[in-house]
Structure 1
Amino acid sequence: MYDIRGLNEECGIFGVWNHERASELTYIGLHSLQHRGQEGAGIVCANGEYLFGARGMGLLTEALSKDQLVSLREFPHAIGHVRYATTGGSELSNVQPFLFKSHRGDLGLAHNGNLVNAVRLREALEDDGAIFQTSSDSEVLAHLLRKNKSSDRKTRMKSALRQLKGAFAFVVLDEDSLTIALDDHGVRPLMLGKIDDSYCVASETCAFTATGAEYIRDIEPGELITLSDDGIDFDRYTDSEKPNMCSMEYIYFARADSEFRHTSTYTIRKSLGKQLAREMDVDADIVIGVPDSSLAAAKGFSEEAGIKQEQGLLKNRYVGRTFISAGQEARERAVRMKLSPVRDVVEGKRIIVIDDSIVRGTTSRFIVKALRKAGAKEVHMGVSSPPLKNPCFYGIDVSTHAEIIASQKSTEEIREEIDADSLTYLSVDAMHDVYHSYGSRGQCDACFTGNYPIEIIDQVLPQEKDLKTKGV
């Protein structure tokens, strides 16, 4: 989800149609997706006559009280959302799912992704009389749906979706249907499942595991699915299909037990580590992975390189992900709280540290320093992804080049900055080879290569903006 003031987030969604425990299943599904959003959560339910919802700030257990969950218990249809936000975006009004009331019926909406033409659409809608209740781009879809005068629900939905540009995975709930839509590039993941005789949808398959649902398949780019009492309807809102799922979903965001096209993220990350071992010529005593998202890559590296893997870093489970912590000072504090070396493992050793990415360099710098303080003889850093050089406009909290160390410094300069003995990144070609070997039909690698698959309409890239300001 994208806040029009320039804030990017990574979110998780879940929905289920026609199940006697719909709100409970949605809560459980959202709990398994908590890694995708820790600053707000909500659930909206329907019963065939009207919609009712609850939402709040913080982790799921903080955002929704027991009394609120009890009030949702009797509803057979539900959608839910967990949200990340950055500075200025942590407001209850922006917590999803949104619930809109009108004489034409109630509407609940949850969105993962980032619309790149939301500002233009919003301005046009406001000029036409629309009044927005939030600063979120997600609200644009609701206004487009209400503006369309067609009596056919699917016609309204297709017309609205065709006006959107960017990355979006939507679940839309009304009194008598649940609609699922994915953008024509499929940038954000979205999965179809089934529990008992009811269909469900989730950002990741780990939510199906938690709820006991069967993972059916990945929802395809440009696909439009409608769940109702008539059953399930498969359709498309566009003939365009250009698969470009976010590479960082494979590398970092998704949980290790989640699957893409029936292959676990763990398996993919392990293969990325194997590829890195083939490209990294360093002799060492042990390999350690940065917990948790890098452990699979470290395992693959260890197996390929023939170097023993050890648990040289421990993670405090009660600290959130620093990649999206708001503010540099907060990120540095979180890293100190989150990771600590095991002296008995690392003392006197030549160590290869495997991490999945380096964004700002805060974590890597701390890890190297902490390992040396714990007695490590050498610290070599291996990264199971290419250098992250460019901002993301499709739903990840890296929105300017100034936030990204590899956009400002060479690999050698980064090595010096983090004080590692060596630094090796996985090549772009090797990364693509791994993805394609597991059935991926295309990835968005803009953060590595600068090749944006979807035109950035509302805002130019920061470097281009600087040039325009200077009159170039």
Structure 2
Amino acid sequence: MSDKPHDYCGIFGIYNHPEAAVHTYYGLHALQHRGQESAGIVTSWFDPEKSIPVMPQHKGFGLVLNVFENQKIFTEKLLGHAAIGHNRYSTSGAAANAQNIQPFRVHYKNGNLAIAHNGNLTNAAALRKMLEERGVIFQSTSDTELILHLISHSDKSTQLDQILDALGQIEGAYCLLLLTDEKLIAVRDPNGFRPLVLGKKDESWVVASETCAFDINQVELIRDIKPGEVLIIDRQTMESGMPRSLHLEPIHGTGDSQCIFEYVYFSRPDSRIFGENTDKVRRKIGKYLAKEFPIPDVTSTRTDKVPIVISVPDSSNTAALGYAHENQKQGNDCKYEIGLIRNHYVGRTFIAPGQASRDVKVRTKFNTVKGVLKDRVVFLVDDSIVRGTTSAHLVNMIRNAGPKEIHFLVSSPPIMHPCYYGMDFPSPEELIANVHRGNIEDIARSIGADSLHYLSPEGLVDAVREANPEGRGFCTACFTGKYPVPVSSRMLKEENEYY
């Protein structure tokens, strides 16, 4: 019952390296924030004893460190010069299904094939129905399995053409890594919802969801994989010096729709995605938050102590810095302080002794610096509010430290709508902005703040544009309800019940 949205997955792939699995392990470790329920790695190598290409795999529930804690996995099992890996987050109903842990691996008439997927297919229901009518038996509840069946049922002759045939039938948000006996293929959907980057380490080629997975492996960033691009990395790439690139056309005439929430919350601040550093973008977002809600407009309280700006660590740190800096630039006296300390060692399965209350869980994760907060006007900056439950507990904790006022500032607009492109939000009736029909004063009272202020959708887009003027179009559907890629009536049904 996290009070933040979840991204579904993080992916990593490498081709032409003798320690492919080890680098994939480190890459997944860097991408742990994108999925914390399970992890897996598949490698490709030629077994000299059997004289055939094989694809060993290892995957399981838990964090990367736990799934791959036995080093023999890398020295005796995950052999080969190519590998793909996957961190997974799922909805609660599918979390306990081991069949859903990726990468998926199959052997069919054209050889071995493995796939790792970050995203969500908007036409999954229609594709599943079509395949079931053909007699296909599914092993998982994941839409990723659909892609494998589309490939295996294609009437094209070559494996690459079968993959391209399958890609032509899927819609929605997807970044894919496909590993064959001879190739590593990277795919980004034509709208570019999720980030995917290409890098190089000596003679090896690397693909990952974010550049932080490159840094840990000392990989040179080459460029973003473009929306609609299909990159083919194989022996021909080693000879030519560059992967082959094919292009998928957008559906229904839609344009680029990069997820703006990647900048707000998902991506690590040290990553470069969509052509710009996440940290830089978040500072600009904080700047625009200060433009819309400068300190004098938010509070009229006068004290002998300077108002303080604090963040909800860690994803809000740089937005709070941007907010404080812009206020100072405008001549508004304030000071950036560390008012909340986060405990990074809280287990995901922690249960409070004798109870399982959210209040206790929040207190195990955060604690206040009372000397900083006492008698101060506090401006608390967070990246988003989803259910509002954690926000209410944080405000209460800060209130107990004795501040004069608490003003809650959010560096994104109210989340009013579900995401169908690879983010997992609570159901609409659990979204606090939807429950209160966007009434900001009611939401402020609900979380116990003296005032509440959200960055406007226009302000968010303008902030990202200023930081990344060369950036492509951005998706803001969770804030505005404007879905750039058509969503099936079945997927919209739940939303229509509440809006």
After TM superposition, is the score higher than 0.5? Answer: yes
- Structure 1 match to 2:230: 224
The residue correspondences of 1:50-449 to structure 2 (distance < 5 A) are 50-64=54-68, 65-90=70-95, 91-231=97-237, 232-238=243-249, 242-280=255-293, 281-283=297-299, 285-306=307-328, 307-319=334-346, 333-409=360-436, 410-437=439-466, 438=468, 439-449=470-480
CA separation of 1:89/1:159 partners in 2, compared to 1, >3 Å: closer, same or farther?
same
- In the alignment, the residues of structure 1 paired with residue 471 and residue 74 of structure 2 have an alpha-carbon distance, to the nearest angstrom, of 38
CA separation of 1:330/1:393 partners in 2, compared to 1, >3 Å: closer, same or farther?
farther
1:400 CA displacement: 2.3
- Structure 1 match to 2:353: none
- Structure 2 match to 1:35: 33
- In the alignment, the residues of structure 2 paired with residue 332 and residue 222 of structure 1 have an alpha-carbon distance, to the nearest angstrom, of 45
- In the alignment, the residues of structure 1 paired with residue 463 and residue 283 of structure 2 have an alpha-carbon distance, to the nearest angstrom, of 10
- In the alignment, the residues of structure 2 paired with residue 157 and residue 53 of structure 1 have an alpha-carbon distance, to the nearest angstrom, of 21
1:73 CA displacement: 4.8
Query: What SS does structure 2 have at the residue aligned with 1:131?
Result: coil
Size of the alignment, in residue pairs? Answer: 455
- 1:319-345 superposed Cα distances (whole Å, 9 cap, x missing partner): 3799xxxxxx67655423211111011
Query: What SS does structure 2 have at the residue aligned with 1:436?
Result: helix
Q: Is the 8 A contact 1:45 1:72 kept in 2?
A: no
Unpaired runs of at least 5, structure 2: 47-52, 238-242, 300-305, 329-333, 350-355
TM-score (ref. length: structure 2) = 0.88
Q: Is the 8 A contact 2:381 2:411 kept in 1?
A: yes
- In the alignment, the residues of structure 2 paired with residue 8 and residue 133 of structure 1 have an alpha-carbon distance, to the nearest angstrom, of 24
- Structure 2 match to 1:46: 44
- 1:40-88 superposed Cα distances (whole Å, 9 cap, x missing partner): 0000000151211100000011122323232345310000000112322
Aligned AA (1:356):
D
| Structure 1, 39-48 or 235-244: larger mean CA deviation | 235-244
- In the alignment, the residues of structure 1 paired with residue 433 and residue 174 of structure 2 have an alpha-carbon distance, to the nearest angstrom, of 27
- In the alignment, the residues of structure 2 paired with residue 86 and residue 285 of structure 1 have an alpha-carbon distance, to the nearest angstrom, of 41
Q: Is the 8 A contact 2:190 2:256 kept in 1?
A: yes
1:132 CA displacement: 1.1
Unpaired runs of at least 5, structure 1: 1-6, 323-328, 468-472
Runs of 4+ in structure 1 off by over 4 angstroms are 329-333
Query: What SS does structure 1 have at the residue aligned with 2:167?
Result: helix
Q: Which has the larger radius of gyration?
A: 2
| Structure 1, 184-193 or 238-247: larger mean CA deviation | 238-247
Q: Is the 8 A contact 1:390 1:449 kept in 2?
A: yes
- In the alignment, the residues of structure 1 paired with residue 225 and residue 348 of structure 2 have an alpha-carbon distance, to the nearest angstrom, of 27
Aligned CA-pair RMSD: 1.9
- Structure 1 match to 2:487: 456
| Structure 1, 48-57 or 251-260: larger mean CA deviation | 48-57
TM-score (ref. length: structure 1) = 0.93
- 1:368-414 superposed Cα distances (whole Å, 9 cap, x missing partner): 10001011111000111111111111111115211211112111110
Q: Is the 8 A contact 1:390 1:400 kept in 2?
A: no
- 1:176-235 superposed Cα distances (whole Å, 9 cap, x missing partner): 001111111111111111111111100001000011001111111111001111101111
1:261 CA displacement: 4.1
1:318 CA displacement: 2.1
1:92 CA displacement: 1.6
CA separation of 1:461/1:250 partners in 2, compared to 1, >3 Å: closer, same or farther?
farther
Aligned AA (1:420):
A
- In the alignment, the residues of structure 2 paired with residue 63 and residue 331 of structure 1 have an alpha-carbon distance, to the nearest angstrom, of 28
Query: What SS does structure 1 have at the residue aligned with 2:75?
Result: helix
Percentage identity across paired residues of the two chains: 42
- In the alignment, the residues of structure 2 paired with residue 59 and residue 370 of structure 1 have an alpha-carbon distance, to the nearest angstrom, of 30
Q: Is the 8 A contact 1:8 1:114 kept in 2?
A: no
- In the alignment, the residues of structure 1 paired with residue 248 and residue 376 of structure 2 have an alpha-carbon distance, to the nearest angstrom, of 57
1:461 CA displacement: 3.9
